[in-house]
Structures are given as C-alpha cells and as structure tokens.
Structure 1
C-alpha cells in the first residue's frame, strides 16, 4: 500500500476511495447472489470456494507443491498443481498462519483486498489516460460487474494480478521506473500471463534507454521486470528436479502457443453448430464476444490518439496471447479480466454522460447478472471457467 500511496496525491485519494466503494458495493451484490444460488442448489460455501482453480491454489497453500509430474498412459503429462505460480498460495498461507482463518476464507480475504487495491488502480489508470472522473468511475463499475468478475471474489489469482498490473501501468505512465520494475517483478510471480506486462515494460524501458531519458532508472526496470517470472519458472521446476518442470506440467493444460489454431477451430465449431458443442451454452457467446470484440477494441484504441500507446500495446499483447494459446476456451474471458479496464475506456466515456439513475440501474443490474452467471460458471456448468 505504501507504493500505491506514493502514486496518488492527497486530493485524488478521496476520488480513489469513491472508486473502491463502488467496486465493493457491486462485488457484495454479485457475491451475495452467487452464495444464495449456490446454497439453493445444495452446495456449501467451502465446496464453492474449492472449485476449479481456487481448489488448486488453496491446496498448494495447504500442502505445498508435488514432487513429481504425473503422466497418462500415452506418455503425456497429466494435470498437476505445478502449473500454478507460487505468490498467491504463499499469501493465502501467510494470512492463514497470521490470523487463524481457514485457507478458504483467507483466500477470499486476499482476493477481496487485492480487488479493492485493483479498483483504486483502475480509477487512477483511467485518469492517467485522460479520462474524466465520471469516466473513471464508470470504468471501475463496468469492470466490477463484468460477467467474469467472480474471479475477484474467490481464491483465484486474478485479483492479485490485476492489482499489480494496473498499478504497474499507472507507474509506467508516470515514468516511476523503480516502482514499475518492482510491481512487474511481483506480477511475474503470480501468473505466467505477466509476460504481456513484462514485454510492455521492457519495450518502454528500452525505448527510454535508447533516447537517453530518465537516466539509469529505465535500465533498472528493464532488469527487474522479468525476475519474478523467471524465479517462478525455476522454483516450480526445482520441485521436480528439472529446469523446465513448469513447461512440462503446463503441457497438460494445453497452454502451448499455437498461433491461434485452436481458437480458430473452436470458433468455427461454435459458429457452425458442430455436434460436439452444445449450441445453447451461454459461455460460447462470452468467448466469441471476448475474442472478436477485443480485436475491435484494440483497433479502436489504436485509432484514438488520446489513449497512451503503451495501453494499446498492453491490450494488443493480451489479445495475441489469449488467441494464440488454446487451453481452456471457457477461461478466455477470465484471462482478459485484468486487461479489461483499458478496453472499457471506450464505453466508459459516453456512459459517464448518462443520467445518474441510468448508471445506477445499469451497474446494479450488471452486478446481479454477474452473480447469476458466476453461479453457473462455478456451481453448475461443466468445464473450468
């Protein structure tokens, strides 16, 4: 929080607090509805909190990483928790030991605190990008009630990663290079998708060095940025005694870069109603919308000369990584959640001019839909969201 406070002036803190309040209000609505529906269908809270990726992070926090990679009969790696980076489980375990909270509730506390910090960062990033206070609030609200906002409520890694990513971009636009490097280092220990942030930071730092701006500090950011990601890879590999252990474990999750072949095949199957896909699955619409609308959004941002170029590079890189790796297609909208605020800038500006009552109804309705959809993703639908 000390790093964050250095990036925010005293008058701006009051505005930022308002943005956090908006996020928390919408998150409470969505999370409450999720819990109510989950109870209605006969599941307990702990069962919900151990679903999908949450369970993997919580079990790593509880038991640590395995010391081997399991293999299927055909010789390919089977699913393993070695694919999950260590910082979030470490935070959960630390809070559990410090407070005595169960691992599940410690994970929820970490996510909610990190999401609040992220919401503050989203507001400051939008203001740094030239948005008005109203547009900044609108962007926070839209992000907080987006369909995959559930990942900010449960022990997933998106909340922590979002907080580090948005504040790193705030620092990057302010050319606070040491802060950028530190936040980027931490982000790399949370998720391998930090490679997009790292590439953006290294590009900006390299440009500053070539043009001899800001002295030695861009060089420090350039050196610090990839260290967390490299340390995460090496640490996970050390658990099984091989430097490429994470890459081997990740093969089971289908995250190898295939230049978009898997994504194109999935979209083709959905659009042509192939028998192996259920045409009524609402998640297909979410995946199609994210893949196609993100591409349109990147183009619109590139044409908007008021948007900092570094933000365009960040979102374009995220889109390339999302479409270029097949993995779980249903998780693609969640993948874009930390990067989503930049795209929301396109609709937040006109929405900020709408009457207040319209905005309240829109955001409140969005929070209800977000909670309802989260119940389907976590409690009802098959396949990891």
Structure 2
C-alpha cells in the first residue's frame, strides 16, 4: 500500500513539476507587475481619502462594476435602467462574485476587487508563460511589464472582467502551444462566458485544432483536438442562446447590444469620431483612445511580420477587429484591447534588448502616467473607462 501511495505521489510530482517551473520563472515579472499596479492603487486610494471618496467604491462599484455587482446580488433583469438591459453583461464575473460572497465575509464590491487582483496576477502569469514559450524569459518579463503599464491598466485590478478574460485567454493560448487540447477548449469556453469578445479565444483554439489535423491527418484519430473544437465556442454560444430564449428572439442578444448603441459597423463610427475629435475636440480619455485606435493596427502589422503561431494572430486579430469595428463608447476602446497582449510582443522584444539607462526613465514615466490616468478615470472622467 505504501509503495502504491509513493508511486501516486511521484506521478503527481512529475505532473505538477512543469507548472512549478513556469511559476518560478514568472516570479520576478509578477513581482514587478504587482509593484506597478499597487502603486496605481495606492495613488488612487490617497487621492480618494484626501477628497472624501471611498476607494473600495471607486474600484468595486463604479461604471460597469456596478452592473456586475447588481447581477451578482439580484440576478439578471431585476434592475431596470432606462432602455438598457443587464443582459449585455456576460455571466462569469458576477457568478464568481456571488460565489465568493457566499463563502467569504465579503461585500460584492470587495469580492469583485479580490477577483480582479487574482485574475490580473493569473493573467500576468499566463502572459509570461506564452512569452517565454515563444521567445525567452526576458522578453516574457517585459511583455508582462508593458501589459501592466497599459494606460488604463488600473482597470486590470478593478471589479471589471478584462483581467479575467485575459487570464483565461492567455492560458488557453499556452495550452494550444503546448498541446493541451482539453485545457485549451475548456479555458476558451470560460473566456466566452466572460466577455462578448471572449470568442477570440475560441477562434484561436478552433484554428489551432483545424490546422493541426489538416497538417497531420494521423491526429484526426486523437480525441483531444475534437474535444477542443467542441468545447471552445460553447461558452459564448451558450450565453447568446440563453439570451435568445430569455428575450424570445433568436437575435435577442444583438438587440440588447443595439439598445446600448453597440453594434459592428466596420469602423464607421470610430472613423467619424476620430474626424470629429480633430475638428471639434474632446476629453482626455477620447484622445488617449484615439492614440490606441491608431496604434493597434500598426502593432498588429508588426506582430504579423514576426510570423508568430497562427492561433496567436487569429486571437489578436479578432480582438482588434471587434474593438476597431464596433460602434459607440469610443473612450472604451483601450479597455477592449486589454486582452490583446500579443500586440505588445514587438515592444517587449525591443525593451529586452535595450539598455537600462534608456528603459528606467521610460518605465518611470509610463508608471507615473498610468497612475495619474487611473486616478483621473475614476475620479474626474465624464465618460466610461
């Protein structure tokens, strides 16, 4: 019996050893990421306390976080706000918030913030795993740092869903790169339950499975790729189907989005907004969004030139197309691109080969800008982040 138990423990140790190595390799990057984000949170907290505001309320119960909290507390359809429906919000985050408050003595906003931090660290770890698999540890570390310096990166540690989707998507991509098909399909399924653009992870998994079976017909007899193909889109499709049943219309979810002003118009709205921004002006988040909207296609082009694995290109392209082709909420475009971390690969490679004398002032300035902008978004901005 003892021999059997020892054999089980040895097999478990061999199974988990790669995970331990991946985590130990990512620890420096996670430490820097946590330090950058804690600096941003501290800046917000100090400003909030000095102006009589509650930092927990700002991080856990403003803008979209309020809608997620309402769903977590009361379910869908219990709060009616004008013509807007909470069915526009996918269920994974409020479901996790509700579960966490059931097992821990936490309010929903605090549960959302805790989930935001956990998801952000899991996302940073997954991003590092993808980066080190495709390049090296130094490039992967810079990929994580740059993701943490995203202008509106404060959202990554709020009660928002972007970090959760990024974590699920990054680990799904890592599962693709390492041939873990059941994990890839399952994680993509969950990403599809997190956000509307979570379907990008499913697109990557489907592309990877199809390409693999096309290039190697012998793999068609393996159940793994077929399981990934079946699982990957179920989260997104399942929620859209549930909304269709709930609203009594097969296009119910898209009608809900149109009521919010969100629809895919191939970029006409964003192009028009850019022109209006030049001629009539706007507010700070809109100017920042304009920079991101213009930079994203360039970053995608540079990424494609690097010839990364096709699923990575598909994942990133889907996110960029949705962000740039969707109408309304122009200032939110940088947030929609938070999960598109592969856009930072070229910049990460540049940083990994650049001298510290150049990088230190750049990182310091970017950290200061990110901290200031995070405080501005939650305390002074008149448009949704």
TM over 0.5: yes
- Give the one of 204, 209, 220 matched to 2:208: 204
Match of 2:151 in 1: 147
Q: Is contact 2:188-2:199 (8 Å) kept?
A: no
Aligned twin of 1:374: 374
Residue aligning to 1:100: 105
- In 2, Cα distance between equivalents of 1:13 and 1:120: 7
SS in 1 for 2:337: helix
Confirm whether residue 16 of structure 1 aligns to residue 18 of structure 2: no
Q: Which residue of 2 aligns with 1:33?
A: 43
* Distance of 2:246 and 2:46 partners within structure 1: 40
Distance 2:315 2:181 in 1: 17
Residue 64 (str. 1) matches residue 75 (str. 2): yes
Is residue 66–residue 239 contact of structure 1 (8 Å, CA) maintained in 2?
no
Q: Is the 8 A contact 1:85 1:232 kept in 2?
A: yes
* Pairing 1:224–2:231 present: yes
Structure 1 distance, partners of 2:290, 2:79, is 37
Report matched runs for 1:1-385 at 5 Å: 8-48=18-58, 49-66=60-77, 78-130=83-135, 132-211=136-215, 212=217, 214=219, 215-271=222-278, 273-274=279-280, 277-278=281-282, 281-305=283-307, 307-339=308-340, 341-356=341-356, 359-385=359-385
Specify the SS of the correspondent of 2:338: helix
Range with bigger deviation, 107-116 or 59-68:
59-68
**2:173 and 2:125 mapped to 1: Cα distance?**
13
**More deviation, 97-106/362-371:** 362-371
Unaligned 5+ residue runs, structure 2?
1-11
SS of match in other structure, 2:158: coil
Give the secondary structure class of the aligned counterpart of 1:337.
coil
Partner of 1:75: none
Moved more, 169-178 or 201-210: 201-210
Counterpart CA distance in 2 for 1:225 and 1:342 is: 20
Unaligned 5+ segments in structure 1 are 73-77
Deviation of the 1:66 alpha carbon:
0.5
1:313 shift after superposition: 2.3
How many residues align structurally? 368
Counterpart-to-counterpart distance in 1, 2:24 and 2:259: 46
Displacement of 1:18 in angstroms is 2.0
| TM-aligned CA deviation for residue 213 of structure 1 | 5.3
* C-alpha displacement of 1:260: 1.1
Cα distance in 2 for partners of 1:381, 1:252 equals 23
With a CA cutoff of 8 Å and minimum separation of 6, indicate the structure with the bigger relative contact order: 1
- 2:9 corresponding residue in structure 1: none
Deviation at residue 13 of structure 1 after TM alignment: 2.5
Q: Any idea what the Cα deviations from partners look like across 1:38-77, whole Å, max 9, x if unmatched?
A: 333432224313110111111111111116977x7xxxxx
| RMSD over equivalenced CA pairs, Å | 2.2
CA 1:207–1:353 in 2, change beyond 3 Å: closer, same or farther? closer
Query: What secondary structure sits across from 1:375 in the alignment?
Result: helix
SS of equivalent to 2:188: helix
Q: TM-score, normalised by structure 1?
A: 0.89
Contact preservation (8 Å) 1:145, 1:366: yes
Identify which range, 221-230 or 5-14, moves more after superposition. Answer: 5-14
- Contact 1:158-1:337 within 8 A present in 2 as well: yes
Cα separation, 1, equivalents of 2:103 and 2:78: 27
Cα distance in 2 for partners of 1:291, 1:347 equals 17
So what's the TM-score if we normalise by structure 2? Answer: 0.89
Q: Is the 8 A contact 2:70 2:79 kept in 1?
A: no
